[in-house]
């Protein structure tokens, strides 16, 4: 089974690019983020024609998450309870024995902005929700755009950026809470010393200079980690394909036995 997560930065802008990637990479289950459209405008038919059932939790112009799967899927949670004011940012489903959740964590803007403590509250609510609804011995995937760098290796310039948004002790403490609960960072488990990124700003040649951040994560429970054969940040799909413009995020892919 191949699972993946991808912030596509606009479904309407990226549908052809997404279909291109699905044809080339053939994932079985995908968590998508930042759809920027309502459910009524979601391209269910186009994705079904490509072989994927789709579940969506959208929002006009902002946010939005979806799950694509080859197997039948059943929604178990749409939206993070108590955090509705922050928009459509969480979707969970049961798929072929997996409990699969995709999230789009609030950005927080900067540490002095009112959205920053609200971001921390959202993370606290998400952690509590996962702990309440799941058990560490289950086969669980928690994936998405976490909008934080788990550690120093996950930033292109930790020394300069330490303490700024995505690099704060408060954000990283929430991430460590997920690890203490039982989640494993699949990429970091496979590559403990690798510096690799999943997001690069469109501006200032950041991608070509590799000035990026690793903020798109596949977290798995310990039983599922035992099934992970490989993990890859699909950097090729941060590049244009056949004239199609890429998202500013790369997909992250894991193959399971």
Find out whether 20 and 13 touch, Cβ atoms under 8 Å.
no
Which candidate in 52, 104, 216, 248 is catalytic?
104
Which candidate in 28, 145, 154, 216 is catalytic?
145
The yes-or-no answer on residue 248 being catalytic is no
Q: How far is CA 60 from CA 44, 64, 87, 223, in A?
A: 17, 8, 10, 37
Q: How many CB atoms lie within 10 A of CB 135?
A: 10
Burial of 197 (0-12, 13-18, 19+ CB in 10 A): buried
22 CB contacts (<8 Å, ≥6 apart)? 30, 50, 51, 52, 68
Buried b (16+ CB within 10 A) or exposed e, 206-219: bbeeebbbbbbbbb
Pull the structure tokens for residue 26: 């053939």
Radius of gyration of the chain (CA): 17
Pull the structure tokens for residue 195: 């510096």
Find out whether 144 and 5 touch, Cβ atoms under 8 Å.
yes
The CA distance from 130 to 181, in Å, is 9
Q: How many CB atoms lie within 10 A of CB 30?
A: 28
54 CB contacts (<8 Å, ≥6 apart)? 42, 43, 44, 47, 48, 66, 67, 68
The yes-or-no answer on residue 44 being catalytic is no
Active site residues: 104, 145
């Amino acid at each position: 089974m191949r699972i993946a997560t991808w912030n596509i930065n606009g479904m309407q802008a990226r549908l052809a690019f997404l279909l291109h990637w699905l044809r080339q990479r053939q994932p079985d289950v995908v968590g998508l983020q930042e759809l920027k459209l309502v459910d009524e405008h979601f391209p269910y038919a186009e994705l079904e024609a490509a072989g994927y059932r789709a579940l969506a939790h959208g929002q006009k112009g902002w946010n939005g998450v979806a799950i694509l799967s080859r197997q039948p899927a059943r929604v178990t949670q749409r939206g993070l309870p108590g955090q509705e004011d922050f928009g459509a940012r969480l979707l969970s489903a049961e798929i072929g024995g997996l409990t699969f959740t995709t999230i789009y964590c609030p950005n927080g803007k900067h540490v002095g902005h009112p959205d920053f403590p609200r971001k921390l509250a959202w993370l606290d609510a998400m952690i509590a929700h996962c702990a309440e609804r799941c058990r560490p011995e289950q086969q669980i995937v928690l994936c998405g755009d976490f909008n934080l760098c788990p550690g120093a290796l996950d930033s292109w310039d930790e020394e300069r950026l330490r303490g700024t948004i995505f690099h704060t002790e408060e954000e990283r403490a929430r991430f460590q809470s997920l690890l203490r609960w039982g989640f494993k960072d699949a990429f970091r488990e496979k590559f403990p010393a690798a510096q690799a990124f999943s997001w690069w700003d469109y501006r200032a040649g950041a991608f070509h200079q590799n000035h990026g951040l690793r903020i798109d994560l596949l977290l798995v429970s310990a039983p599922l980690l035992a099934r992970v054969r490989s993990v890859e940040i699909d950097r090729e799909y941060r590049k244009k394909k056949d004239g199609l413009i890429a998202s500013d995020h790369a997909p992250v892919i894991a193959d399971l036995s």
